[in-house]
Chain A
Amino acid sequence: MTMASPKISTEADIQIARLTRRFGKVNVVDNVSLKVPTGTTCGFIGLNGAGKTTTIRMLVGLLAPTMGVITLAGCDMPGERDRSRRLIGYVPDRPTVYSWMTGNQAIKFCKAIYGGQWDDTLIATVAKSLRLDLSKEVKHLSKGSAAKLSLLLAIGHNPRVLILDEPTSGFDVLARDEFLEGILTVNTTAQAEGKPPRTVLFSSHSLGDVQRLADSVAILHEGKLLLHEPIDRLLGQTKRIRAVMDETPQKTVAPPGTVRESFVGREWTVTVKDFSADQVEFIRGKNRVTQLDVQDLTLDEVFRDYVRSDDKAPELAQA
């Protein structure tokens, strides 16, 4: 597992180290360290209340951390917040644009603020790809269209870093596809113009979206970062071993790297990270197994097993 190093280097556009945010006596974000390499897309996933939005709000400078270091596009946050504004784009979980503005008025407003940095060509390309009606007022837009407008406003100044906070939650299938298509268009347009791809961090409950867009995935649970790994590696090295015991197990010995185990009758299921044949042999050698097979997992299953890793049967989960 590649748990993020707390050291700060300059190769990553998004770097956070020992980030903590306390509300009252509760650490909503607890000592999180994460590094998203420049030009890559990171899916930020976790259950409701895991601390994703709080982390993101600290990242973009809307919330001050209790402790920790944030470097975003080379800017130390929140100290260099003003400089970072021209380098980052942020799509919030619900639209924050003035409801009385039309899409065109919102674009005109942002263009006036960003001046020569504003990229009309990019806006036109992405707006076309999103099939967005810019003549409507924000209050008359559907949830999907309002989020598309937020995306448009977030990328108009060609930011180095794009941060999206559950942008597709509550979307219908078509709106979701169009929105994701929009994100892909943003990067392909940049690459076609010879610009480096953007660094993207997006939180989502839709693991299908994460699998489709992200190069790496970070799982946050109860304020703590459980893992941050490239998706291919995570899926390639996390396996589920299903063992059928010769009798209902009274005591089992789980292999090193066990993430979660569960029992149904005589069937013992063990999810392991950094999978190797040694783990299979370990199970065979230490337990009375009659049948054993190894299964691949989807990102959805990996996520479930990681966040439910605490609720394994305690009397049987002796390693």
Chain B
Amino acid sequence: MSDAESNPAVSNWQIMRALIAKDWRFFRVPMIALLITGTGCYTVAAVAIFFLHPDPREYELLCHSSVLAINLTGLLASVLGGMAIAVERSERTADFVGLLPVSRSQIVLSKWLVSIFMLGACAVINAVIALWLRSPGGFIS
């Protein structure tokens, strides 16, 4: 038996940790793009309310911004999904990962977990903002 075969196998958890860390970095660019556009929605609404139409009735705009940001998160979901496969293929990084001793299900699971976490976090943040704005004692009320 060769060295390679006799060495203890690394645990699945260690492999998943390494893959998740890699995918976290891999998805950073679209995530930053979403943060910028999401923040942009609120900024535009805030500018419109406080500088152009300083009318409390316009505060509803902020709520619409939350809804828009949530929709953008949905859009990002398709970007992340496409990136997960297309970019890895075009840059041939899929070959790099594909030749490591990891199963295809681990590769897919890692991407899925990171995407779900990123999208979920964005959706939750925007939903919380929207709910807070509409809640009794919130900004709009």
Query: Known contacts A87-B2, A114-B101; is A99 also within 8 Å of B10 by CB?
Result: no
Residues of A130-161 contacting chain B, CB below 8 A:
157-160
Contact A157 B4, CB 8 Å, known A96-B95, A112-B17: yes
CB contacts (< 8 Å) of B22 on chain A: these are 98, 109
Answer whether residue A82 sits at the interface, using C-beta atoms and an 8 A cutoff. yes
In the complex, the chain B residue whose C-beta lies closest to that of A119 is B3
Q: Which of B31-65 contact A (CB under 8 A)?
A: none
B78 at the interface (CB under 8 A from A): no
- Contact mask for chain B residues 1-42; partner A; CB cutoff 8 A; 1 contact, 0 none: 011110111110011011101100110000000000000000
Residues in A lying within 8 Å of B, measured CB to CB: 60-62, 73, 82, 85-88, 90, 92, 94, 96-100, 109-110, 112-117, 157-160, 195
Q: A160 with B4: in contact, given A92-B92, A115-B9 (CB under 8 Å)?
A: yes
CB distance from A53 to the nearest CB of B (A): 12
Closest to B96 in A: A96
Is there an interface contact between B96 and A98, defined as CB atoms closer than 8 Å?
Answer: yes
Do A112 and B8 have beta carbons less than 8 Å apart? no
Choice from A94, A98, A99, A117 contacting B4 with Cβ under 8 Å = A117
**A121 smallest CB distance to B (angstroms):** 13
Q: Evaluate contact between A85 and B3: CB separation under 8 angstroms.
A: no
8 Å CB contacts to A: which residues of B69-115?
Answer: 91-96, 98-103
Instruction: Tell me, rounded to whole Å, the shortest Cβ–Cβ distance linking A216 to chain B.
Output: 22
Residue of B nearest to A157 (CB): B4
Are the C-beta atoms of B10 and A113 separated by less than 8 Å?
yes
Give the docked Cα–Cα distance between A317 and B19 (Å). Answer: 61
The tally of CB-CB contacts under 8 A between chains A and B is 79
Ordered nearest first, which 8 A-B pairs have the shortest CB separation? A115-B10, A112-B18, A85-B101, A117-B7, A96-B96, A96-B92, A96-B95, A86-B4
Instruction: Please give, as numbers and ranges, the residues of chain B lying within 8 Å of A159 by CB-CB distance.
Output: 4
Q: In the assembled complex, which residues on chain B have CB atoms less than 8 Å from the CB atom of A92?
A: 92, 95
**B interface list, Cβ under 8 A from A:** 2-5, 7-11, 14-15, 17-19, 21-22, 25-26, 91-96, 98-103
Contact A100 B25 (CB under 8 A): yes
Could you list 11 A-B pairs, sorted by A, with CB under 8 Å?
A62-B98, A87-B2, A88-B99, A92-B92, A96-B94, A96-B96, A98-B25, A112-B14, A114-B10, A114-B100, A117-B10
* Contact (Cβ within 8 A) A60 B15: no
B98–chain A nearest beta-carbon distance, Å: 6
Smallest beta-carbon distance B7→chain A, Å: 4
**A85 close to B8 (CB less than 8 A):** no
Which of A94, A117, A195 has its CB near the most chain B CB atoms (within 10 A)? A117
B93 touches A115 (CB 8 A): no
Cβ of B91: which chain A residues have Cβ within 8 Å of it?
Answer: 96, 98-99
Residues of A within 8 A of B96 (CB): 96-98
Q: Which residues of B contact A112 (CB under 8 A)?
A: 10, 14-15, 17-18
CA–CA, A61 and B100, complex, Å: 11
B95 in contact with A195 (CB, 8 Å): no
Q: Which residues of B contact A61 (CB under 8 A)?
A: 99
